Structures are given as C-alpha cells and as structure tokens.
A and B are shown apart, each in its own frame.
Chain A
Amino acid sequence: MALLQRVAEQGRRVVRFTLDGRPVEALEGDTILTAMLTNGDHLRRSEFADSPRAGFCLMGACQDCWVRTEEGDRLRACGTFIAEGMRLVSASEWTAAGGEGQP
C-alpha cells in the first residue's frame, strides 16, 4: 500500500494525523509527502487527467504535489512538514463526481 519505504531515521517521535479521515502515523520531520506516501500510494488525483499523482521532483519545482486539507487549504506536500492533528485529503474534489476532470 505504502509507496515510500522507510530505510533509515526511524527513531523519531511519532506524529498523528488523518488521511482521508483515517487515523495514521508519521514521524516528526516528515514532509506531508512522506507522511502521506508511507501511509498510501498517492497524494491527489490530477484534476485534468483523473489520474493519481504522488509528486515528482520533491524539491519544489514541479508543483505536482499540492494536496488539500479537510479545511480546504492547499499545501505543497514536498515542502511542508507534517504536524500533529493535520487532516489531509488525497481524493480530489474535481473528480469525486466521477467526471472527466474538467474543472
């Protein structure tokens, strides 16, 4: 299920957040991208192609990793750190109705 695999630095403090309403755990110092992709296999669905996306460059250039919070805020997942109690969403509102993805 998880896309990213932890191979080091696993002694960090646990941070709890929710992903699509499900309570999950990450580690302090994880980016939102790491937190979501160690608990799932995508960050969002493309609003134009209705395909799952999981980021690409991890250094703030491609802008492919914008995710939503339940409150509707948009965050760049590779450049924002996870925080206790965040409520993140990996399903896209554009494609929730099952359309072709035209906003």
Chain B
Amino acid sequence: MTRALSPVIVGAGPAGIRAAEALVAAGLRPVLIDEAARGGGQIYRQPPDGGFTRPKTALYGTEAAKADAVHRALDRIRDRVDYRPRTLVWNCERGALDLLCDGVTDTIPYGPLILATGATDRVLPFPGWTLPGVFTLGGSQVALKFQGCAIGRRVAFLGTGPLLYLVACQYLKAGVEVAGVFDTTPQTVQARALPGMLRDPATLAKGLALVGWLRLHGVPVHHGIRPIAVEGEGRVRALRVRHGAGEIAVECDAVAFGLGLRSETQLADLAGCAFRFDPMDRAWLPVRDTAGRTSVPGLYIAGDGGGIAGADAAELAGERAARAALEDAGLPVDAARVAWLDRRLARVAAFRRALNAAFPFPQDWAATIPDDLMLCRCEGVSAGTLRGVGQRGEAREINRAKALTRVGMGRCQGRVCGAAAAELLAGALGVGPDAVGRLRAQPPIKPLPITATPVQEATP
C-alpha cells in the first residue's frame, strides 16, 4: 500500500537528486531510479567504483563544488530512499513503470512521478559522421571523466553550444592536442548576444575564460563554419569545413561533435503528457508550468528532460517539482522557499534565452545534407529516402515518414536521428519543423534482452 503511493523519481542527476532530497525532507521515502551505477547524471557523472583516483577538481573543473554537493546530497539521503541504480525504465503507461535491472524486469506503480531524464547531444548528419573516431561532445566528455580516455590524440571540436568550448578545454587540460574549435555560429551573432548574457555575469565570465584559454594555448577557433566532411578510411584522418567563401582542412584523428542538447522526453510521451512545439529548443516538449507540473495530474518534469536549461536550473527545478508534488498531495510547503526557487528559475530562463541566441541551431544545415548520406545510423537509411517520401507527397507527418522509411524505428528510437529527420522532412515539404509533428515514443524505449526474466515476488 505504501509502496503504491510512494513518489517515484526517474533519473539521479542534479534534478532527480534534489527532488529526492526535498521529498525525504518532507518525511517521504521516494523511489529513485537511475540507469547509471552511480548518481550525478551525465554532467556530474562519477567514475566507476574502484581504482579511479582523480579528485573532483580535475573531473569537474570550476563546477567541482557543485558536483560534490550533488553527490553528497545523494549520499546523505541514501538510506531514506529506495535507490535503484543500474535500472532502465523502459515503459511508463497506466500508472506503472516497467524496469530492467541486471537482466530482471519489474513493474512498479507510482503515485506522484517526477521525470528527470536529462538530455543528450543534438546532432545533424554530415559526410563522415559515422566513421569511428567521431563522437558526440557529451560522449567525448564521458570518455574523459568516466574512463580517463581521450577519443583521439589530436581532436577537432565541431558544432555549437557551451559544451563545444568546455569539452575542448577539458581535453587541452588533459594533455590532448586540440586541432581546432569549429563553431557554426558567426562571431557577430555571438557578439550581439553578449549583453543578454550579462544577466549572469559569473557564467558569462566562465564562458569567455574558456575561449580565452583556448586562444592563449594557440588553439584555432573558427566561427560561422559548416562541415564539408570528416575524411578517412575506417577512421578519422581530417576534418574539412566551409568558412566564408573558403575552406579549412585540419588533420585530426577524432572529432567531437554536437549542436546543443535535446531533451529526453520519451517517458513523458508514453505517460500521456501533452506536448507543444518550443521554438527556442526547436523541439516538441511536454507542456509544463513553472513548477514542472505536466498535463497529467501527479506527473512532473524537472531539468533538461523538459527543456534545455542546464545543470544549475536542473537542481532548482528538481526541488521545485518535488515541492509541487507535496503541495498537490495536500502536504505543507515552505512558501518562502518556493517563491525563492521561482525567482531563481525565472532568472535562469532569461539567461537561457540569451545563451540560445549566442549558440543558435544552424537552420540552413539540413538543406545541405546530400541525398546519399546516411541519416539513420541504426539501419543505414539515407537522407534522400526520407526526403523522397515528403517530396512525393507520401508523408506529410513524421510518424508516417517513419512507417515508410524506418527512420526513427531502429534501436535509437529517434534519439539520434529525430531532430535531423524532422528538419529534412520539413525541408522537403517546404514547412517548418513544427508542422511535421513529433515522433511517437514506443515501448521499450531501449532494447531489452529477450532473456530478461520477471522479478520473483517475495512471499509475505
């Protein structure tokens, strides 16, 4: 009985941990489910247990104190939550979550549910993007933080967004040669966005320091580029980009790539949340109020999984969603604290708008993707195949296009190709990406082994 009413949190990153902390403080015992073995999420991901010795200052740089605070928060509440690491949530329908942990499946009902599922890199295809040695920016950071490895000896950084400069600096500090930073955003656009970013001078200063540090170490930083190709046979040999009327080519053995982040919304979709197209994130996102309440009563979303706002905002939003859940359950909440959280979240939202203006999504890129380029990494479907169903009038909507081409139907379930697929179909139809709809989530959201066995119920 108490189990059925337990609040459940999915994701033990900054949002999920702060949500759990607030629920524990109110005397509840939430279930905290996380796919990783240790808490912290992707941004504050911790190395595996055993043998890893780098201090947090080496792993998280200027964010070490924040990472440590989040890790310690989880340590403090650990015996007061039903913490389930290494556990995948693969479905979320009819008031229950389907789980997989160590090959064993389980189904748990939930009362209040807080989804803190985070985000992954947003990508668009370019020639050579499937070559070994091309990784996402987030993945390149995971290799370094979580494994003490660099993705290559001489790495080029391609795309746009704060992560582009952050990961390039982290690689340089780790002793890796950085072949160059290739930002799709023109310098004039970034200069225009500067005044808006003064809303958060500390964060802006950190960002400018990263760029300055790269330049000080002789790393070429190019703005307003578009990729031509990553070249190489079987592995990366060089990156070529278009720069104004000219071309730049650099030798490198790896490329770290990303165009900002995209929210992980599949569980919210399966749970029946209403979505709306968000022009800033250029994506369909769950409708939610400033406290994280969705259209489904008792279901809340906190952190980047509901719209990209970064780790600091995720901590605030996690606590805010937990307090909304408490309030909706008729439990007392600290009104002053809620008002403080709301003010902080509003300020973050304003900064986030400025940041987005400084690193805009390159809207012209999709049109330049060659027809014969592989769009779907899972099943090798070309960009031209997807464009074709639009051009021939066979699909005016992304799920119809998926049915006809299998784009978005492979193992990644559209997590990698979804943004590109929407852009390509919209381009073929001459409409905006909002007009082609959103890929419906499908359980299981990640592959399950057929050998998975149901959990044995304990006898009372």
A-to-B contact residues, CB < 8 Å: 3-13, 27-31, 34, 37-38, 41-42, 46, 48-49, 51-64, 66, 74, 78-79, 81, 101
Contact = CB atoms under 8 A, between A and B. Distances in A.
A58 B139 contact: yes
Contacts of B150: 4-5, 7
A12 B149 CA distance: 13
B412 A64 contact: yes
Interface stretch (B309-317, B375-383, B386-394, B426-434): B375-383
B133 A11 contact: no
Given A29-B48, A53-B130, A4 B139 contact: no
Contacts of B130: 46, 49, 51, 53
Contacts of B143: 4, 34, 58
B99 to A, nearest CB: 15
B51 to A, nearest CB: 4
A62 B412 contact: yes
Interface string B34-76: 0100000010000111111110001000000000000000000
Contacts of B176: 5, 7
A9 B53 contact: yes
A76 to B, nearest CB: 8
Interface residues of B, number: 54
A29 B149 contact: no
B138 A9 contact: no
Interface in B127-146: 130-136, 138-140, 142-144, 146
Given A5-B150, A62-B415, A56 B136 contact: yes
B47 A9 contact: yes
B173 to A, nearest CB: 10
A77 B51 CA distance: 20
Nearest to B410: A63
A49 B374 contact: yes
Given A12-B50, A49-B374, A63-B412, A7 B148 contact: yes
B151 A9 contact: no
B449 interface: yes
B449 A74 contact: yes
Chain B CB within 10 Å, residue with most, of A27, A30, A54, A57: A57
Given A9-B52, A64-B412, A59 B380 contact: no
B54 A63 contact: no
Contact of B54 (A8, A29, A78): A8
B139 A60 contact: no
Contacts of B134: 56
Chain A CB within 10 Å, residue with most, of B58, B175, B412: B412
A102 B449 CA distance: 22
Nearest to A12: B51
A27 B51 contact: yes
Given A9-B53, A64-B378, 16 more contacts: A5-B150, A7-B148, A12-B51, A29-B51, A41-B132, A42-B234, A48-B378, A52-B235, A53-B377, A54-B135, A57-B139, A58-B142, A59-B142, A61-B264, A63-B411, A66-B447
Nearest to B52: A9
Nearest to B379: A48
A16 to B, nearest CB: 16
A35 to B, nearest CB: 10
A7 B135 CA distance: 17
Contacts of B121: 57
Contact of B235 (A3, A8, A58, A66): A3
A49 B125 CA distance: 15
A4 B139 CA distance: 12
A10 B148 contact: yes
Contacts of B151: 3-5
